Amino acid sequence: MKKNIFSVIALAVSIINLILSILIVFTLVPSTAKSNKLITKVASNLDLEIESTVGLDDEKKKVSLKDIEMYPLEELTINLKSVKGETKSHFALVSVSLSMNKTHKDYKELSPNMKTYESYITEIITDEFSKSTAANVMEDKDLIKERILSRLEDKFNSDFIVNISIGKIVVD
């Protein structure tokens, strides 16, 4: 008699286990599949962005060090964006150098006149740094460099400037 009751209990537990397994399959698997599709879409979009960024920078990264000339600018004191409710003005002392590709077709034409263009360059650098607050200027450094480089490329109608080097930033 005991063997019979244990068999019935084991059968009941097995049936409950089967029912719960079926319930899990029909409730969790579809949502997991949807999540997997979403993750796949996001990952593919990120791959596209990485590929496009790498594609744009590959030409600049191919420039060897011997083909790069550094053009240092004077240290700039830049008034940073103020935070609402704060009365103190913040400044950044920034030293910037431009990396120019000596093998670029526009280099011979534009590089001798860099001293003439310095006011344009410092204006662009000042504009981009002044968009950041003292709290986030260090975090935004790479973004600021990208924006400066993009604006310089637009200004010169050339990409002979391959990089912006920020030697130091002192924020007060």
> Quick one: pLDDT at residue 50?
45
pLDDT digits (tens, 9 = 90+) for 41-70: 777 766 544 444 444 444 445 778 888 889
> Quick one: pLDDT at residue 1?
60
CB 89 within 8 A of CB 77: no
* Domain harbouring 129, CATH code: 3.30.479.30
Q: Are residues 139 and 83 in the same domain?
A: yes
Q: Are residues 87 and 153 in the same domain?
A: yes
State the amino acid at position 66 in one-letter form.
K
CA–CA distance, 65 with 101 (Å, rounded to integer): 9
Residue 122, phi then psi, degrees to nearest 5: -65, -35
Q: Are residues 81 and 25 in the same domain?
A: no
Average pLDDT, stretch 107-124?
Answer: 89
For residue 19, the enclosing domain spans 1-62
- Beta-carbon contacts of 91 under 8 Å, excluding residues fewer than 6 positions away, are 77, 78, 79, 80, 171, 172
Q: Are residues 118 and 156 in the same domain?
A: yes
CA–CA distance, 43 with 147 (Å, rounded to integer): 26
| Total domains present in the chain | 2
- The confidence band for 147, taking pLDDT boundaries of 50, 70 and 90, is very high
Q: Are residues 57 and 86 in the same domain?
A: no
Q: Are residues 96 and 153 in the same domain?
A: yes
- Beta-carbon contacts of 44 under 8 Å, excluding residues fewer than 6 positions away, are none
CA–CA distance, 143 with 140 (Å, rounded to integer): 5
Among 21, 45, 62, where does a domain finish?
A: 62
Q: Are residues 78 and 114 in the same domain?
A: yes
> Quick one: pLDDT at residue 84?
81
Structural tokens at position 149: 């480089």
